[in-house]
Amino acid sequence: MTRETLVLGAGMVGTSIAYHLARRGRSVTLVDRRAPGEETSFGNAGIIQREAVFPHAFPRDLGTLLRVLPNRSIDIRYRLKGMAAAAGPLFQYWRRSAPASYRQIVPEYASLIMRSTEEHQRLIDAAGAEALISRKGWFDAFRSQKHLEAFAGEAEEAARRFGVGYRSLTPAELKAQEPDLAAEAFVGAIEWTNSWTVLDPGGLVRAYAGAFEAAGGRFQRGEVRQVVRTASGWRLDLADGSLEAQELVLAAGPWSGDWLQQLGYRLPLFPKRGYHMHYAGEGEARLNHWLMDFDAGYLLAPMRAGVRLTTGAELTTRDAPARHEQLAAAEKVARRLFPLGPRQDAAPWVGNRPCMPDMKPVIGPAPRHKGLWFAFGHGHQGFTLGPVTGRLMGEMMDGEETAVPMAPFRAERFAGV
């Protein structure tokens, strides 16, 4: 008998899971209030980050904390209401970022990142999406010699332990790659050679959704009002009807917390917000690669819609009104680095990344509900990790041996679940 499955959440993670389950012969319905790729997956930096084997830790050194405290930094800002709302998870995040704990987290986290590009390639091939992908690497550029040397050390460790590809560039070598960039602002750069970039992140998710539908899957657009346990499985009550299945995958990104609370789970999920804007190039100016201005804390990406400027993180509540000061500050610095033209979007995009305090996603069965599965909390790397999460969910749900050990990603690792 065909296994009926609902997947709630049509971002990169949910869409990838839906594809893998449909390919395994399940009857799958993907459900979201918006079309695939229109929420958080639309607004990211568009990098499949094979290099990101070291997750973003909470700053613990006094210098960084004092720099952030005035709340004028480009890379991270905060709102007091958001800090208060997430005080418990943020304290856990600080604790889990201690050296001994972080050393244990890194290889667990890296076990997913190391499979990111190969698993994306499977979906790229299935979706016919090769035209959206660039494999010429991207740059972290540094204004501080101290930061460059520290990061070069991390890059060497990442290469030795986890197969990350990189090379160091002088300002002259960076200028040769990016003639229209004020490369003299930097003391050097690191090129990540086996990470991939995407010309249209939302478009890639839409292409993967097309592959899911070609494999027999269905997409249902609608606002979910309630998640209900039934005698035979699960029901999603929508504004204009309901859907039922034997199994339900909760992959709703930063909205997962709403349904967790309804079902009685107290997982420490919290949001990190980001903003972006697209710009035309001034005159004939052209940006050839994705480039992170590391010390300032923003990224420039040459996408189909224009040069996308993405900010660092803002710690706030998920539904707080947008504030555009962080983006404006990043734009002011970026215009001195590259000749950005006029803004191309009517208003800045704003979205939230779903984060866990130990920097690892939650992937696996719900502890107290048969037929309920979790796949959320990917933080900055939902776009990168969607396809590998999809593969692992398919293996777990069909009772197979998984490609990586899944114990580090189970919900039970948090007390009070």
Lookup: tokens for 328: 């404006």
Report the pLDDT value the prediction gives residue 64, as an integer from 0 to 100.
Answer: 84
Q: In 6-142, which ranges are continuous DSSP H helix? A: 12-23, 40-43, 62-68, 80-85, 87-96, 99-113, 116-127
CA distances to 90, 229, 260, 314, 362 from 357, in Å: 7, 28, 16, 16, 11
CA distances to 71, 156, 289, 348 from 327, in Å: 13, 32, 20, 8
The enclosing domain of 377 has a CATH number of 3.50.50.60
Query: Which one is predicted more confidently, 227 or 70?
Result: 227
Contacts of 296 (CB under 8 A, 6+ apart): 74, 75, 143, 330, 333
Hey, which bits of 88-223 come out as E strands? Answer: 133-134, 138-142, 166-169, 188-192, 196-198, 218-221
Q: Any bridge partners for residue 138, and if so which?
A: 192
Report the pLDDT value the prediction gives residue 62, as an integer from 0 to 100.
Answer: 81
Return d(Cα 361, Cα 382) in angstroms, integer.
9
Report the pLDDT value the prediction gives residue 60, as an integer from 0 to 100.
Answer: 86
In a domain, 301, yes or no: no
Confidence tier at 1 by pLDDT (50, 70, 90): low
Instruction: Compute the average pLDDT of residues 96-103.
Output: 97
Return d(Cα 225, Cα 238) in angstroms, integer.
5
Lookup: tokens for 229: 């346990």
Domain limits for position 45: 1-55+103-131+195-269+358-416
Report the pLDDT value the prediction gives residue 131, as an integer from 0 to 100.
Answer: 98
In a domain, 323, yes or no: no
Report the pLDDT value the prediction gives residue 262, as an integer from 0 to 100.
Answer: 93
In a domain, 151, yes or no: no
Report the pLDDT value the prediction gives residue 66, as an integer from 0 to 100.
Answer: 82
DSSP state of 229: E
pLDDT tens, position by position, 54-70: 999 998 888 888 888 88
pLDDT tens, position by position, 289-310: 999 999 999 999 999 999 999 9
Return d(Cα 25, Cα 213) in angstroms, integer.
12
In a domain, 383, yes or no: yes
Confidence tier at 39 by pLDDT (50, 70, 90): confident
Q: Any bridge partners for residue 32, and if so which?
A: 221
In a domain, 122, yes or no: yes
In a domain, 399, yes or no: yes
- HEC readout, 314-339: EECCCCCCCCCHHHHHHHHHHHHHCC
Question: Has residue 252 got a pLDDT over 80?
Answer: yes
Residue 145 has, within 13 A of its CA and on its CB side, a CA count of 0
Return d(Cα 8, Cα 248) in angstroms, integer.
7
Contacts of 89 (CB under 8 A, 6+ apart): 268, 269, 270, 355, 356, 357
Return d(Cα 58, Cα 98) in angstroms, integer.
9
In a domain, 374, yes or no: yes
pLDDT tens, position by position, 327-370: 999 999 999 999 999 999 999 999 999 999 999 999 999 999 99
Report the pLDDT value the prediction gives residue 357, as an integer from 0 to 100.
Answer: 97
In a domain, 222, yes or no: yes
Give the chain's mean pLDDT.
Answer: 96
Instruction: Compute the average pLDDT of residues 107-120.
Output: 98
pLDDT tens, position by position, 370-412: 999 999 999 999 999 999 999 999 999 999 999 999 999 999 9
The total domain count for the chain is 1
Question: Has residue 416 got a pLDDT over 80?
Answer: no
